[in-house]
Amino acid sequence: MKTDQSTTTSQLRCIGCGATPHSATQDFRCIQCGDLFEFIFPGLAYDARLITSLWANRRTSPNPIDQSGVWRFRELLPHISEEHVITLREGNTPLYHLRRCARATGVDNLYAKHQGMNPTASFKDTGMTVAASAAHQGGFHWVACASTGNTSASMAAYAGRGDMRSLVLIPEGKISWGKLSQSLDYGALTCQLRTDFDGCVRILNELIRQKPVYLLNSINPYRIEGQKTAAIELLEQLDWIAPEHIIVPGGNLGNSSAIGKALLEMHDLKLITRLPKLSIIQAQGANPFYRSVREFGGTKLEPMTADTLASAIRIGNPASWKKALRVQRATGGEVEQVSEIEIAEAKAEIGADGIGCEPASAVTLAGLKKLLARGFVKPGEMVILILTGHMLKDPDFTINFHRGELFEGTPQEREAVQTKSLQRAPIVLDADLGAVIQVLEAAERNS
């Protein structure tokens, strides 16, 4: 049995034509057919009991790569020499029971795997530790990404830790301040381009043809490998008993591809005996994947101009849609879309459970409600929501929602009246004890 990372052999394979080149070119696209690469692990076989106890034992080790919730599972990752590994001890994120949301939806076994509890407060860190380490091993001085804000925050941090320089391309005025501030503070060269995310991707693809910068978007297959570990860690937390459903937000569709890939690999390795159904949820205003599946049976994807207040997933031309389609189908999951109002309500509900998340993550709960209504999810089943980003990533959204201002001047303004019962606006009072007691007593009467 293999128990050591140094013996893990990985191989790049094109998802389109199956070519297996020794290495990828700068744009991480197959030179024969232009499709994306994935890592495969030919001949990988482990004794399930031994490998899972090895992973569990690493938790007590003082070694940084053992303390990382990503590198702890390095037998299922492409090999990177330890001296090149850049780690912020990412992963190790909690699995929370969502008590109130469980009551509200009727799904007793409703849990959130909170990837917002990563070092830069989003799931991106799990992929970034692997891809940034690959850049370091490759001797790159510059790394770069186009981003809706979380990838850039994460890339900037890992580049800083690895003593590399980072170039961030973000759409001007379309990412939250929290995320922008991270990229500045972690030392990135930050360019706000007057375009959307898809426009930033186009510029970056041109740039990497001319300059020796290492691309850290999720078409980089190292990112996908790192992001796989969220699902491995989740199954470890569930003592290797698979839940019926896992629900993820879909933007550029790297994360759903990664989680699905992990599920299939764990199933092949017999670490789990049944496959959870992986369902992918998009915002209605940024739903090219939903439309691809519903309107074209997954045969093609029509890019669109995306618009949603969940700015992290404001993406009209998702790069990894074919990978996501494959794993959604292989696991028997569903694809859904949710409205702006449904996202805002779901976010406030996750908040009231004492958990909180950023708007893009809340599509999971909103999507669950739809999947329940359609009978795809049954109340007796176990459901895991992947919460991708921390609540403090986008405080403007939260404050505007609770003040009743989020939908002012938008097409949803009238419909938004229905969200009133979830709003908890701050109450401004004189510094007077009586006034505070009055407010307290009124709240008690209304509860």
Residue choice 167, 231, 232, 253 for contact with ligand F0G (CB under 6 A): 253
Phi and psi dihedrals of 2, rounded to 5?
A: -90, 135
Stretch of residues binding ligand F0G (CB under 6 A), selected from 51-59, 73-81, 86-94, 245-253: 245-253
> How does DSSP assign 121-151, residue by residue?
SBTHHHHHHHHHHHHHHTT-SEEEEE-SSHH
Nearer to ligand F0G by C-beta: 75 or 394?
394
- For position 122 contacting ligand F0G by CB under 6 A, the verdict is yes
Q: Which amino acid type is present at position 215?
A: L
Q: Is the C-alpha dihedral spanning 417, 422, 428, 429 positive or negative?
A: positive
d(CA 230, CA 236): 10
> How does DSSP assign 215-259, residue by residue?
E-STTSHHHHHHHHHHHHHHHHHTTT---SEEEEE-SSSHHHHHH
Nearer to ligand F0G by C-beta: 5 or 320?
320
d(CA 39, CA 224): 9
- Per-residue binding string, ligand F0G, 65-104, x by CB under 6 A, is ----------------------------------------
Residue choice 218, 279, 364, 398 for contact with ligand F0G (CB under 6 A): 218
* Residue 435 Cβ vs ligand F0G, minimum distance, rounded to whole Å: 39
- For position 120 contacting ligand F0G by CB under 6 A, the verdict is no
128's tokens: 């970034």
Stretch of residues binding ligand F0G (CB under 6 A), selected from 61-69, 141-149, 293-301, 407-415: 141-149
- For position 151 contacting ligand F0G by CB under 6 A, the verdict is yes
DSSP β-ladder status, 165-171 and 142-146:
parallel
- For position 249 contacting ligand F0G by CB under 6 A, the verdict is yes
d(CA 249, CA 364): 6
Nearer to ligand F0G by C-beta: 51 or 338?
338
Nearer to ligand F0G by C-beta: 44 or 330?
330
Left (φ > 0), alpha (ψ -120 to 50) or beta: where does 395 sit? alpha
d(CA 219, CA 24): 11
Residue choice 5, 129, 133, 150 for contact with ligand F0G (CB under 6 A): 150
- Per-residue binding string, ligand F0G, 367-396, x by CB under 6 A, is ---------------------xx-------
* Residue 151 Cβ vs ligand F0G, minimum distance, rounded to whole Å: 4
d(CA 312, CA 176): 9
- For position 361 contacting ligand F0G by CB under 6 A, the verdict is yes
Nearer to ligand F0G by C-beta: 276 or 316?
316
* Residue 120 Cβ vs ligand F0G, minimum distance, rounded to whole Å: 10
Left (φ > 0), alpha (ψ -120 to 50) or beta: where does 270 sit? left
Tell me how far apart the terminal alpha carbons of the chain are, to the nearest angstrom: 58
Dump strand ranges (E) for 1-146. 11-14, 37-40, 95-97, 110-114, 142-146
Q: Are 142 and 117 in contact (CB under 8 A)?
A: no
d(CA 254, CA 317): 12
Q: Which of 315, 368, 323 is nearest to 343 (CA)?
A: 368
* Residue 198 Cβ vs ligand F0G, minimum distance, rounded to whole Å: 11
d(CA 29, CA 21): 11
Nearer to ligand F0G by C-beta: 51 or 387?
387
* Residue 56 Cβ vs ligand F0G, minimum distance, rounded to whole Å: 28
# of chain residues touching ligand F0G (CB under 6 A): 23
- Per-residue binding string, ligand F0G, 38-67, x by CB under 6 A, is ------------------------------
DSSP β-ladder status, 11-14 and 37-40:
antiparallel
Stretch of residues binding ligand F0G (CB under 6 A), selected from 67-75, 105-113, 330-338, 355-363: 355-363
d(CA 218, CA 201): 11
Residue choice 120, 126, 148, 398 for contact with ligand F0G (CB under 6 A): 148
HSE of 108 in the Cβ direction (CA atoms, 13 Å)?
2
Residue choice 255, 279, 292, 364 for contact with ligand F0G (CB under 6 A): 255
Nearer to ligand F0G by C-beta: 77 or 204?
204
- If you ran DSSP here, which 8-state letter would residue 109 be given? S
* Residue 388 Cβ vs ligand F0G, minimum distance, rounded to whole Å: 3
* Residue 445 Cβ vs ligand F0G, minimum distance, rounded to whole Å: 38
* Residue 263 Cβ vs ligand F0G, minimum distance, rounded to whole Å: 16
Residue choice 313, 343, 365, 384 for contact with ligand F0G (CB under 6 A): 313
What does the binding site for ligand F0G look like in residue numbers (CB under 6 A)?
122, 124, 147-151, 218, 249-256, 312-313, 358, 360-361, 388-389
